[in-house]
Chain A
Amino acid sequence: MKKTLISALLLSLFAQPAFAGTGQANTSAIVMFLLFIAGTMVITWWAARKTQTTSDFYTAGGGITGFQNGLAIAGDYISAASFLGIAGLVYVSGFYGIIYAIGFLFGWPVVMFLIAERLRNLGRFNFADVTAFRLGQTQMRILASSASLLIIALYLIAQMVGAGKLIVLLFGIEYKFSVVIIGVLMMIYVFFGGMTATTWVQIIKAVLMLTGGTLLAGLVLYQFGFNADTMLAEAVRVHPNGVEIMAPGTAVSDHPLNALSLGIALAFGTAGLPHILMRFFTVSSAQEARKSVIWASSFIGYFYLLTFIIGFGAIALLVRHPEYFTTAADGSFNMLTDLIGGTNMAAVHLSNAVGGSLLLGFLAAVTFATIVAVVAGLALAGAAAIAHDLYANVIARGRSTEAQEMRISKISILVLGVLAILLGIVFEHQNVAFMVGLAFAIAASANFPVLVLSVSWRGCTTRGATIGGFVGLLFATVWVVLSKTVWVDVFGNVDPITPFPNPGIFSIPLAFLSIWFFSITDKGANAQNERDAFDALTVRSQTGIGRSGATEH
C-alpha cells in the first residue's frame, strides 16, 4: 500500500517539468533535482519499513552513530537560510555577515559545555520530557509546546519563502506551485519515514552540500591563484562600499546594543531549538552524542569558512557578469540591488559563473533538498510537540496507546504541512530574515533558561519555570512585534516603539530572574517535592544510571 502510494507520488514528481516551462528552466538543475528526490524517496521507503514504534519515529530508535548524527546536525544547520543567507549578507555588507555565522556557531560550545551530556544521560525525547522529569508535567508540556510550535512556525515560514523564491528563479515554476511541492515532499518524508528518513536525508544532503561548497570555494580561489587576500582586494575594489566591507560597518556602530543582543540570542538560542535538541537522542550513548557534537561543529565551522569565501568571491566575480543583473538601458547596473532573484541568490549565480550550469544544477538541487530536509525536521519536532507533549501527556494524561500517539503525530504532520504551505503563500512578500532571528530569541528566552535551571538548580520549581518561561516568551515576542522589523516594516507604522529589534539582552536575563524569583517564593508542598527530586535528576543526568534503554521514555 505504502509502496504504491510512494511510486504514484514519484510519478507525479517526474511529471513536473511539464509545467516548468513558464520560466527559464535549467535542464541540468532539473535533472539533478529529480535524481536527488528519487534517491531520497528510496531512503524514505527503506526507512518506512524500519519505522515501527514512536521511538523509531521521533528518534530513529537511537540507532544512528555519532558521525552520522554529526552530519545530520550539520545538515540541520547548513540550511538554505544560513548558506544562501550568510553568503548573501557577506555579498551585501562583507564583515557583517560573519557576525551571524559566528553567532550560529557559538551555540555549540554553549550546548556542549552546559547541557548536551546531561540531557543525553536523562534519555528523554525533547525539552518537555527533560523539564517534566521533576517539574509538573502539564505546565512544562504546555510551555514547551507553545514555545516549540512558535519557533517551528517562524522557522517554517522563513524556509518556505526562501525555498519558494529559489524554485521560482531556477525552475521557472510559479511561486505557489513551488511552495506546494516543498510542503508535499516534506510530508512524504516525515509521514512515511519519520526520523530515520529525515536523518538520512539530512546526512546525504550535508555530504553533498559540503562537497558542493568546497568545490565552489575552490573554484573561486583558483581564479585568484589561491590567494585569499587577492580575492579580498578585488572585492574591495569593485564593491560600492569599498574598504568598508572589511569592517563591522555602520549597522553595528549605530546600535552596538543591538549587535550585542543579537549575539547573545544566537549563541544561547541553539540550546533551546527543539529540532536540534531532538538530535541528541538519535544516538545510542553519551559518547556518541559527544562525538556527534565534535563532528557537527567541525562541519559547521568549515562550511561557514567556505561561505565567507563564497560571499567575498561573489562580490569580486559576479560584477563581471552583467547577465546576472537587471540592467538599465545603457547596460549599467547596481551590483547590490539589481541581482536577479535578490542578493540571497549570490551563491547560486556564483556557482554558474565559476562552474557552469552543471555546478549550478548540482548546487540548486542540493539547496532545494536542504530546505525540504530542514522543513521535514521542523515538522517532526512540531509533531512531537503536539502528539507527544500535548496529546499523550496533557490531554490523554498518559492513558493513550502508542498507536494512538502515532496516529496523532501523523495527523499533526498533515496539518503542519498544509499550514506551512499556507503560511509560505501568505508571507510571500514579507521580509523573512527577522523570523529566524525571532525564533532564536524565543528559544534563548523561553526554552534555554528553563532547561538550564531545571537540570542545574535545586531550587527551581514548576511555578518558577512556568512563569519565567512564559515571561521570556512573551517579552521576546512583544518586543519584536513592537520593533522596526514588524511594527514599521510589516504594519506600516512610522516609528518603532522598541529602540532596536533584538530582545535577547533584556529577555534572557529577565527570564532567568523570573524563574529565580517565582521559585524561591514558592512555598507549596509540591515545590518541596520538586526540590527533593533534584537528587534523582542529578544522579541520572550525571551518570545515566536509571535510563534503561537509549530511547525508552
Chain B
Amino acid sequence: MQKDIVQQVLNHPKYVELVKRRTRVSMIFFATALIIYSGFILTLAYLPDLFAQPLGEGWTMSVGVLTGILVVFSAVIMIALYVHFSNKYFDPLLEQVVRDVE
C-alpha cells in the first residue's frame, strides 16, 4: 500500500472517529467479558461454598450450576450486541472512509 494512502486515511476525520469509537466499544465489551468470566472462575476457585448452595427450599439446582448456564448465555448475548454495534454504527463510518480514499 502506498504511503500517501496511509497518510490520507490516518488524517481522515471519519477514520479517527471510527478507530476511537470502535476501540472504546471493543474495550468495554472485552472488559465486561473479562469481569463475568474471571468473576465466575474466581468465585468457584475461592468461594466454592457460595456456588454449592441450592437455589432455594426444595431445589436441587445449585447457585453455581445456574450461574454457569447464565454465563453461557451472557457470552452469546455480548457477541450479538457487539455485532449489532458494528453493523449499525461502525460499518457506515467505514464505508465512508473507504469511498473517500479509493
Contact = CB atoms under 8 A, between A and B. Distances in A.
Interface stretch (A36-44, A301-309, A322-330, A404-412): A301-309
A252 B48 contact: yes
Contacts of A98: 64-65, 68
Contacts of B49: 247
A330 to B, nearest CB: 31
B54 to A, nearest CB: 7
A246 B52 contact: yes
Contacts of B72: 101-102, 105, 301, 304-305
Given A259-B41, A263-B41, A546-B1, A102 B65 contact: no
Interface string B31-53: 00100011011101110110110
A233 interface: yes
B65 A246 contact: yes
B30 to A, nearest CB: 4
A543 B75 CA distance: 26
Given A110-B33, A536-B1, A95 B69 contact: no
A308 B71 CA distance: 13
Interface string A100-133: 0110011011101110010000000000000000
Interface string A220-245: 00000000110011011000000110
Interface in A289-303: 290-291, 293-294, 297-298, 301
Contacts of A244: 52
A253 B52 CA distance: 12
B98 A545 contact: yes
A114 B30 contact: yes
B48 A232 contact: no
A109 B87 CA distance: 17
Interface string A538-551: 11101111100000
A301 B61 contact: no
A218 to B, nearest CB: 17
Contact of B45 (A117, A260, A293): A260
Nearest to B86: A290
B9 A248 contact: no
Name the interface size band of chain B.
35 or more
A162 B10 CA distance: 51
**Which interface residue of B29, B45, B71, B98 has the most chain A CB atoms within 10 A?**
B45
A256 interface: yes
A413 to B, nearest CB: 33
A244 B64 CA distance: 12
Contacts, number: 162
A287 interface: yes
The prevalent SS among residues of B at the interface is helix
A298 B59 contact: no
A253 B48 CA distance: 7
B15 A543 contact: yes
A23 interface: no
Nearest to A298: B76
A497 interface: no
Contacts of B42: 260
Interface string A241-270: 001101111001100110110010001000
B37 A263 contact: yes
A99 interface: yes
B101 to A, nearest CB: 6
Contacts of B48: 247-249, 252-253
B82 to A, nearest CB: 6
**Which interface residue of A95, A110, A236, A539 has the most chain B CB atoms within 10 A?**
A539
Contacts of B54: 246
B78 A247 contact: no
A402 interface: no
Contacts of A542: 15, 18-19, 22
A348 to B, nearest CB: 24
A489 interface: no
A321 B94 CA distance: 60
Contact of A308 (B18, B37, B69): B69
Given A95-B44, A229-B61, A263-B41, 8 more contacts: A95-B51, A99-B41, A229-B60, A232-B60, A246-B52, A257-B45, A544-B98, A546-B5
16 contacts: A98-B68, A229-B61, A246-B52, A246-B64, A247-B52, A256-B45, A260-B45, A293-B79, A297-B75, A301-B76, A535-B7, A536-B1, A536-B6, A538-B10, A542-B18, A546-B1
Interface of B: 1, 3, 5-7, 9-10, 15, 18-19, 22, 26-27, 29-30, 33, 37-38, 40-42, 44-46, 48-49, 51-52, 54, 59-62, 64-65, 68-69, 71-73, 75-76, 78-80, 82-83, 86-87, 91, 94, 97-98, 101-102
Q: Which 5 residue pairs across A and B have the least CB separation, nearest first? A: A247-B52, A256-B45, A246-B62, A546-B1, A109-B33
